[in-house]
Structure 1
Amino acid sequence: MDIAKLTIKEITTHIENSDAERRKELIEILKMDTRSAVQNLLIKLSKKEDRDRKEIERLEIMKSFEYQYIKRGARYIAGIDEVGRGPLAGPVYASAVILPIECVIKGINDSKKLSPQKRSLLYEEIKEKAVCYSTGYCDEKTIDEVNILKATFKAMKQAVEGLSIKPDVLLIDAVKIPDVDIFQVPIIKGDAKSFSIAAASIVAKVERDTVMDKYHELFPHYNFISNKGYGTQDHIDAIKKHGPCNIHRRSFIGSFV
């Protein structure tokens, strides 16, 4: 292949379709190409490689808890996180995710720091690369009956029990789950510190948001597609105007109705 005869578009495509070793070889060849467009492409590639390197370093730091317990003999480590403790309406969700330690998912982070579009893309990648994952939930009626903390624990327990492989260690955002006989490690702000917990936060967030979008079609007055059940001013105003709907948590909205 004569690089000098290729267009910039063809060169870019060829590099993107090459493995890491071949990519390095091509970059060395391109350094001898005097075309300004090629040199600009090399600058862009260099910046991208730098970003990728920094991202891999960030992910390795996020795996520090996982590495700690793998060194102690753990094989399967599950990250657990919940979403939906604070809203005035809808269920609370919790997800459990086991990922291979060598797994690379660029961009993974606390779900709250990600755009809906980025969360959706990562959600699909997590499902594809996970050893296994599971989600549990408790609806608004259960939340009202037992309180939100107990409902959250129940959803978390469902998620753990739904895993097709029993984990050796549970890394959990901030809490320990009662009545679960697996070694548990609560991590404050774990969704930003642990690779596995961050993955669980994304799965739980995307799946709950999908449910709330469907509820918006049934109860459009409350704008669930935007607020996801949280207590935004437009949501509170809608409750005052229209009263609660079937999925509102009565124990949360007493001061509004």
Structure 2
Amino acid sequence: MTAGDAAEPRSSSGSGQDAGGRCPTGRPGTGRRPARKRKPLPPRTGVQPPRAIVRRSTESWALQSALERHGLGPVVGVDEAGRGACAGPLAVAACILRPGDAARFEGLTDSKLLSAEEREGFFTTIQRRAVDWRVVLVDPPEVDRRGVHIANIDGMRRAVARLDVRPGYVLTDGFPVTGFGVPSLAVPKGDLAAACVAAASILAKVTRDRLMTELHDRHPEYRFNLHKGYCTPTHTAALTEHGPCPEHRFSFVNVAAAARGRSLDGFPAGVRHNGTVTVDDVSAESGEADELVAPEDAFDGPEDMEEFEGGEVR
């Protein structure tokens, strides 16, 4: 380079700045790239459950434990049995389990995955160890008048309201429910994901199964002890031969057809008919048929808050 050549401007600090102290990709005089603008998070509404840390041995207790650590306990689980049956009551249970009691409930899960003997064993343990529990029975005429879904939700509210211990948070199985007076959360597959919901499912299932066995003694022609009121071939044949009894739900299409003397042919197993589904005896015994019934539309309005006279088991 000759003496007449002009020297190129150089950064004095090696930071990538030009002669004017500016960074081509950043703020003047800093040598830094501009920070990306973050989108603001949407505002939170209501009481949000804390994120639960799941551990292999106690995963079904993780959500309850997290809620209690954040001062939102006691946590009550709610579930029902008999939603898909065309005879017998709808049983709705609410249960508060003792914090730190996971070791005493090893194997606790969805009642449909347990044998009858296992359910009975857990039922006894839940009665003895639970902080509080209730089972509400909604009889068939009430189910007919209000519909299965609304009767179910109202039964959940009643079961929680009748607890002696006021809960701080309610966990429901699958779909959201309001009207508890405390925050609530719908947990997908709640009877698998939350121990208190699993306990409620067992309370509801065992209570209802025992009642259906008692109804068998009064109406042996229907074999309620076998299918627990679900729409099995055995039950369908009995409806065809004898017609329905007062324990049947006349809002179900197969019961209404039997009451009118119509044939039930053409009701294939596993196909929904206005909320009614025919299943095999094994699915009926486990309660699996409840999973096959299509949910009804969500409800709102003051009529849905009406009280009804239902049974209670304690």
TM over 0.5: yes
What's 1:141 paired with?
141
Are the aligned partners of 1:93 and 1:136 in contact in 2 as well (CA < 8 Å)?
yes
Q: Which amino acid aligns with 1:234?
A: T
Structure 1 stretches of at least 4 aligned residues deviating more than 3 Å after TM superposition: none
What's 2:190 paired with?
190
Note the 1:151-166 alignment, pairs <5 A: 151-166=151-166
Measure how far apart 1:70 and its partner are: 1.6
- Greater share of helix residues, 1 or 2? 1
Measure how far apart 1:157 and its partner are: 1.4
Measure, in 2, the Cα distance between the counterparts of 1:155 and 1:216: 24
What's 2:98 paired with?
100
Are the aligned partners of 1:59 and 1:195 in contact in 2 as well (CA < 8 Å)?
no
Are the aligned partners of 1:137 and 1:158 in contact in 2 as well (CA < 8 Å)?
no
Are the aligned partners of 1:90 and 1:247 in contact in 2 as well (CA < 8 Å)?
yes
Are the aligned partners of 2:75 and 2:171 in contact in 1 as well (CA < 8 Å)?
yes
Q: Which amino acid aligns with 1:254?
A: A
Identity of aligned residues (%): 33
Measure how far apart 1:256 and its partner are: 3.6
**What runs of 5+ residues in structure 2 fail to find an aligned partner?**
1-54, 260-314
What's 1:235 paired with?
235
Deviations 1:45-64 (A, max 9, x none): xxxxxxxxxxxx65511112
Measure, in 2, the Cα distance between the counterparts of 1:158 and 1:218: 28
Are the aligned partners of 1:137 and 1:154 in contact in 2 as well (CA < 8 Å)?
no
3-state SS of 2:185 partner:
strand
Measure, in 2, the Cα distance between the counterparts of 1:199 and 1:190: 11
Q: Which amino acid aligns with 2:96?
A: I
Are the aligned partners of 2:177 and 2:186 in contact in 1 as well (CA < 8 Å)?
no
Q: Which amino acid aligns with 1:94?
A: V
3-state SS of 2:240 partner:
helix
Deviations 1:180-232 (A, max 9, x none): 21111101111011111001100110001111110000011111001000000
Are the aligned partners of 1:100 and 1:131 in contact in 2 as well (CA < 8 Å)?
yes
Measure, in 2, the Cα distance between the counterparts of 1:178 and 1:140: 24
In terms of Rg, which structure is larger? 2
Measure how far apart 1:67 and its partner are: 2.0
Measure, in 2, the Cα distance between the counterparts of 1:226 and 1:206: 14
Measure, in 1, the Cα distance between the counterparts of 2:137 and 2:219: 20
What's 1:84 paired with?
82
Larger mean Cα displacement after TM superposition, 172-181 or 146-155: 172-181
What's 1:75 paired with?
73
Q: What's the Cα RMSD here?
A: 1.2
Note the 1:200-219 alignment, pairs <5 A: 200-219=200-219
What's 2:256 paired with?
254
Q: Which amino acid aligns with 2:97?
A: L
Deviations 1:47-102 (A, max 9, x none): xxxxxxxxxx6551111211221232123000110111100101001111101120
Measure how far apart 1:154 and its partner are: 1.8
Give TM-score, length-normalised by structure 1.
Answer: 0.76
Q: Which amino acid aligns with 2:128?
A: E
Measure, in 2, the Cα distance between the counterparts of 1:255 and 1:71: 53
Give TM-score, length-normalised by structure 2.
Answer: 0.62
3-state SS of 2:159 partner:
helix
Note the 1:3-14 alignment, pairs <5 A: none
**What runs of 5+ residues in structure 1 fail to find an aligned partner?**
1-56
What's 1:38 paired with?
none
3-state SS of 1:254 partner:
helix
Measure, in 1, the Cα distance between the counterparts of 2:95 and 2:124: 13
What's 1:66 paired with?
64
3-state SS of 2:120 partner:
helix
Measure how far apart 1:175 and its partner are: 2.2
Measure, in 1, the Cα distance between the counterparts of 2:228 and 2:141: 17
What's 1:44 paired with?
none
Measure how far apart 1:106 and its partner are: 1.6
